[in-house]
Amino acid sequence: MKLILKLRDGFKNDTVQIKANGREVYHKEGVSTDLAISVADRVEIEVRKSTVSLEVVVKGGERQKKEINMKMTRFVDVWCIDGKMELRESHLEVPMM
């Protein structure tokens, strides 16, 4: 199964790290939101279990951890708004702006 993450609004030349079940699956510097489409990056993670512990870290900033039930959702949008990070789950892919 694939879990699809979109880094959405609020990223400004950030270093972002994503871990799934404690294993680093994404690490990138210079992540910035494209304001025309409200997306900074898209990440596909191969998941072999029915639940995944997802952690998203912005270096020098916010960090969020969330348990994702793969039977309920396949999509997670990551928002950084007013200095707060939010992981929003969805069973349908949220379209870009």
- CB-based contacts of 31: which residues, under 8 Å, 6+ apart? 7, 11, 13, 14, 15, 16, 40, 41
Whether 65 is in a domain gets the answer: yes
* In-domain check, residue 96: no
Is residue 15 situated within a structural domain?
A: yes
- pLDDT < 70 positions in the chain: 94-97
- The verdict on residue 39 lying in a domain is yes
Domain that holds residue 81: 2-90
In a domain, 63, yes or no: yes
Give residue 61's Cα distance to chain centre. 15
Pick from 3, 2, 13: nearest CA to 60: 13
Question: Which pLDDT score is estimated for 55?
Answer: 98
- CATH number (domain holding residue 29): 2.60.40
Domain membership flag for residue 97: no
When divided into structural domains, the chain yields a total of 1
Q: Is residue 95 part of a domain?
A: no
pLDDT, position 83: 82
The predicted pLDDT at position 97 comes to: 57
